[in-house]
Amino acid sequence: MTRRIVIAAVALFWQGLTLPATAGDEPWAERALPSHVDQATLQGTLDRDTLFDLIERGEKLFTAKFTELDGAGRAMATQAIIPTKRKRPPDNIFQRIAGTDANACSSCHREPVTGGAGDFTVNVFVNEGFVNADFDTTDPQFSNERNTNHLMGAGLVELLAREMTADLHAIRRDTLKKARETGEPVTAALQTKGIAFGRITAQPDGILDLHEIDGVDTDLVIRPFSQKGVMTSLRQFSVNAMNQHHGMQAVERFGTRWTGEADFDEDGHADELTDGDISALVAWQATLPPPAIETPDDPAWQEAAAKGSAMFDEIGCNACHVRALPLENLKFVDPGPYDAAGTLRGGEIGGAVYDLALTDWADKLERDDQGRWLVPTFGDLKRHLITDRQVADLGNELLGQRFVERNEFQTAELWGLASTAPYGHRGDFTTLDGIIRAHGGAARASRDAYTECAEEDRSALIAFLKTLVIPQ
């Protein structure tokens, strides 16, 4: 049964999840959000029908072209993730640079399928929204211009990050315990799923020396989303994005509990997105099928790809673009365990579990001899320096983001690469060859090895990368 058929089959269950947005709407009402998802109906591990119903609602929200009647636009709020007032309302509801810049999530996340990536035309301009929030220029001193990422397999990515965070926190806990017990400083390597994040030293009094950590935040939380790796969860990202891009404000951050106002953006619409609405968006994104490695029909391409795959390891691409990371558990708990206040947390509500094993794609994932699912992200969920003095094309941002330096980025997951041109965080590279040559900093040796290869070896590597697709 395909995803679409299943969704259609469970459509009859909608009534159970629904809260009316406005009573008495005509069928032709200019409203994209005729009802809200009731979070109270989402308890425990959702059965297949309920999960797919929620996914369907999520897709509706992801593709909805929100209108002013839904609360689109943020007359008196900036794009900031901390609710922040504007000084004055904008002239127009849309402003392509500072936002609100999109009518629907799917207007950018669309190639080759809904939830996919975007062309250069749908780049976004990242400004924290506190200073110069109303910028009207693409001058990089005001914002970092970013290409639209794809979201395929995002649930698996978040689950990996959660397990890695749990590992790092366990190392931290054990190291501190040992230092307290022995009365001596104790140093430990931070390693999880084969990825090294430097090391920590615990002092006997409970102080933690963090100056040797590498590629992870000081709270040792793996934040797997955004090009910088600064967003903890799909939930956090969704709440941010709905405000930034659409002016649709989630109650869980912009509601009366935190801001004292039900209509923080003062657009005449209170409580624009319920906890349930955000859960639906999360469920839809978390269950998007992962990209795949496609076997080309062309035997020559097959042969080249096989050679290129070996090259990929040989020149060290796989040091950061790790082929697959093992995942212990497919149960996606929402809200997740590592979000901070302002994004719904476990303990605030009962929460729900989306069992990704219920999806049609789950049984296609490879498993290792320990029964772990192998998630072929071609990434390491770690940040690296990506420029150096000679190779600095990817160092074109002027603003750090959320404590991360301007030329440091999380390793891009390569799965789905062939379906998501252009490349680079700004979408500056039209070819894979171009983006590989732009790798500096921590990737410099591999990049140099690539450039020094024979032409046919470089071609083989491209042939391999071209098999990493988002199925349509």
Partner 1 sequence: MTRLAATLSALLALAAPLAAEEETSGTLPMDVPVMVEEALAAGIDHAYTGPWEYFVGGGASAFDCNGDRLPDLAVAGGTAPARLYVNRSAIGGELNFEEKPDALPANAREKVTGFYALDIDNDGYRDLVTLRVGENAILKGGPDCSFSEANRAFAFDGGRAWSTAFAATFEPGLPFPTLAFGNYVDRSAPGSPWGTCHDNAFIRPLDGKDTPDYSEPTALTPGYCALSMIFTDWNHTGEPDLRVANDRQYYREGQEQLWRVQSGRPPRPYRRNDGWRRVQIWGMGIAEADLNADGYPEYALTSMGDTMLQTLDDEAEPDRPVYRDVAFDNNATAHRPYTGEDLKPSTGWHADFDDFNNDGRLDLFIAKGNVQQMQDFASYDPDNLLLGKAGGGFVESGDKAGIALPRRGRGAAVADFNMDGMLDLAVVNREAPVSLFRNTGGSNNGSKTRPMGNWLEIELQQKGTNRNAVGATITVKSGNETRTRKVQVGGGHASGSSGFIHVGTGVAERAQIRVQWPDGEWSAPFRVFANNFVVIRRDATQAQYWYPPE
Q: Which of 102, 122, 139 is closest to 399 using CA atoms?
A: 139
Stretch that binds partner 1, among 44-52, 146-154, 344-352, 460-468 (CB under 8 A): 344-352
Q: Which of 113, 193, 197 is closest to 153 using CA atoms?
A: 113
CA distance 87 to 74: 12
Residue 72 or 202: which CB sits closer to partner 1? 202
C-alpha distance from residue 61 to each of 98, 99, 103, 415, 472 (Å): 22, 19, 11, 25, 21
Residue 255 or 308: which CB sits closer to partner 1? 255
Q: Which of 290, 342, 395, 441 binds partner 1 (CB under 8 A)?
A: 342
The number of beta carbons lying within 10 Å of the beta carbon of residue 382 is 21
* Apex 271 CA angle, 269 and 275, nearest 5: 150
Q: Which of 4, 173, 331, 364 binds partner 1 (CB under 8 A)?
A: 173
Residue 368 or 405: which CB sits closer to partner 1? 405
Stretch that binds partner 1, among 298-306, 313-321, 338-346, 388-396 (CB under 8 A): 338-346
Largest CA distance in the chain: 72
Q: Which of 421, 427, 409, 332 is closest to 375 using CA atoms?
A: 332
Spell out a b/e string for 439-471, using b for 16 or more CB atoms within 10 Å of the CB, else e.
bbbbbbebbbebeebeeebbbbbbbbbbbbbbe
Residue 402 or 437: which CB sits closer to partner 1? 402
Residue 80 or 438: which CB sits closer to partner 1? 80
Stretch that binds partner 1, among 2-10, 140-148, 203-211, 366-374 (CB under 8 A): 203-211
Q: Which of 84, 132, 318, 459 binds partner 1 (CB under 8 A)?
A: 84
Stretch that binds partner 1, among 18-26, 79-87, 108-116, 367-375 (CB under 8 A): 79-87
CA distance 340 to 252: 11
What mask, x for binding partner 1 by CB under 8 A, covers residues 207 to 246?
xxxxx-----xxx-x-------------------------
Q: Which residues 385-404 are close enough to bind partner 1 by CB under 8 A?
A: 402-403
Q: Which of 348, 355, 393, 433 binds partner 1 (CB under 8 A)?
A: 348
Q: Which residues 4-33 are close enough to bind partner 1 by CB under 8 A?
A: none
* Tokens 């290409």, residue located: 147
Q: Which of 60, 162, 235, 253 binds partner 1 (CB under 8 A)?
A: 253
Residue 249 or 420: which CB sits closer to partner 1? 249
Q: Which residues 86-145 are close enough to bind partner 1 by CB under 8 A?
A: 128-131
C-alpha distance from residue 395 to each of 31, 217, 359, 424 (Å): 42, 20, 39, 11
Q: In one letter, which amino acid is 321?
A: H
Contacts of 434 (CB under 8 A, 6+ apart): 423
Q: Which of 375, 355, 356 is closest to 365 using CA atoms?
A: 375
Stretch that binds partner 1, among 4-12, 63-71, 154-162, 253-261 (CB under 8 A): 253-261
Residue 130 or 431: which CB sits closer to partner 1? 130
Q: Which of 338, 355, 346, 344 is closest to 283 using CA atoms?
A: 355
Q: Which of 83, 229, 247, 441 binds partner 1 (CB under 8 A)?
A: 83
Q: Which of 20, 44, 206, 268 binds partner 1 (CB under 8 A)?
A: 206
176 counts as binding partner 1 under rule CB under 8 A: yes
* Tokens 């070896």, residue located: 457
Work out how close the CB of 4 gets to partner 1 at its nearest, in angstroms, rounded to a whole number: 37
CA atoms within 13 A on the CB side of 437: 11
Q: Which residues 268-297 are close enough to bind partner 1 by CB under 8 A?
A: none
Rule CB under 8 A: which residues touch partner 1?
80, 82-84, 128-131, 172-173, 176-177, 180, 205-211, 217-219, 221, 253, 256-261, 340-342, 345, 347-348, 402-403
